[in-house]
Amino acid sequence: MSQTEPKKFNKIVMMAVAVLALILLLLYMQGTFVSKVPPGLSPQAQDANVPTNNRVQVEQQSVDDILIWPGTVRSRTVANISPRMTARIIEIKVNAGDKVKKGDVIARLDEREIKAQEQAALAAFAGADAQAARAKADEQRTRSLYSKEAATRENFDAVVARAKEAQAGVNQAASAISEIRTHVADALLLAPFDGVVVKRLQQPGDMGLPGVPVVSLQTPQGLRLEADVPSTCAGRYRTGMTVTVRIDTLGQTVNAQIDEISPEVDPQTRTQLIKVALPAIAGLQPGYFGWLEQACDRHEALLIPTDAVQHIGQLEVVQVLAEGRQAMRHIRTAKTFGDRVEVISGLHAGETVVTHPQQVH
């Protein structure tokens, strides 16, 4: 045997030992050589000595399935401010979110054309008035001649008719001026009430048209939450019913009454519009986002007091009393119903658990 062969053999042996040591280390880290406690019940060493007041039975009850639907806070009073005449928009003085008072100028329309019409109407009125004055003078002169039998009845009647016709022309011209001046006032769009601008729908330079809104205005009072609810659940609602509304922006949860239910079902979304009258809430504004909470169905649930649940890291455990001894059991919980929580695994109806009233979770 050459001298290099023992060296190769020793090298192979050292490598094998190193691999074996690594395998043993991995097995140790995985807990192969450590005895394990099976999951589920962990019996305590001492007998149970728990006060009666701290012993609660696991109950099975029918509970509501609470669902939530998104909604938007809107005002009961909404006004879309639009022109009464066709004219170009010169200026819009408000933006979304601005607060306005009754009578404030919202927008201004181009009034040059209507002013020209006013001047033409004034000129027509002046001409009609002058013509009526001449006709009135002719009537008075002819009446005097007729009384002296210096004019015929036919001439007198014709002069009286012309005077009446001329006066009718004056009245018509005056009505035209009044109507045009009404349109002059319409060149200013005014706020009909104190409110908040919700939307600005047009811009300066756009053509203002009758019935086409320039801005949308709402009152900050009489607010409602409007939510689209699936028709399968909307049937459980009734006008006047008290429901729960949550406004996350303000961190507020309030009880409110249903004010209106749309009888129509949206054919696209299969939902119905529910409007809930909100109580006065400080800081609440139209446009805020909210949630409408609703019990849409019911199911059977196992319930225990929330203070019976202990937390070990991310694990939830309870102390169960069985045959005079305490045992720790892992559980899983779901929704909370007041001071009780639903248990979805780990317990059975009729079992007894221990509460911990002084424990802070």
pLDDT digits (tens, 9 = 90+) for 181-206: 777 788 889 999 888 888 899 999 99
The rounded distance, in Å, linking the Cα atoms of 29 and 340 is 41
| Average pLDDT for 138-163 | 77
> Does some domain include residue 360?
no
> Does some domain include residue 251?
yes
Across 143-152, 156-165, 251-260, 273-282, least confident range: 143-152
The rounded distance, in Å, linking the Cα atoms of 313 and 308 is 16
CATH (domain of 342): 2.40.420.20
In this structure, are 85 and 204 located in the same domain?
yes
Q: pLDDT value at position 281?
A: 85
> Does some domain include residue 239?
yes
Does position 247 have pLDDT exceeding 60, yes or no?
yes
**Which structural domain, as residue segments, surrounds residue 8?**
1-36
Across 50-59, 247-256, 259-268, least confident range: 50-59
In this structure, are 182 and 105 located in the same domain?
yes
Q: pLDDT value at position 47?
A: 47
In this structure, are 192 and 253 located in the same domain?
no
Higher pLDDT, 124 or 83: 83
Q: pLDDT value at position 93?
A: 93
Residues 6+ apart with CB under 8 A from 242: 255, 256, 257
Backbone angles phi, psi at 297, to 5 degrees: -160, 180
pTM score: 0.49
Q: pLDDT value at position 176?
A: 80
Contact indicator for 86, 207 with CB cutoff of 8 Å: yes
In this structure, are 198 and 233 located in the same domain?
no
> Does some domain include residue 213?
no
Residues 6+ apart with CB under 8 A from 166: 128, 131, 132, 134, 135, 136
In this structure, are 222 and 169 located in the same domain?
no
Total tally of structural domains belonging to the chain: 4
CATH (domain of 234): 2.40.30.170
In this structure, are 91 and 204 located in the same domain?
yes
Higher pLDDT, 125 or 10: 125
In this structure, are 86 and 177 located in the same domain?
yes
> Does some domain include residue 88?
yes
Q: pLDDT value at position 34?
A: 41
> Does some domain include residue 191?
yes
DSSP codes, 315-353? EEEEEEEETTEEEEEEEEEEEEETTEEEEEES--TT-EE
Name the pLDDT band for 121 (thresholds 50, 70, 90). confident
Contact indicator for 196, 94 with CB cutoff of 8 Å: no
> Does some domain include residue 137?
yes
pLDDT > 70 in the chain, percent: 86
Name the pLDDT band for 358 (thresholds 50, 70, 90). low
> Does some domain include residue 139?
yes
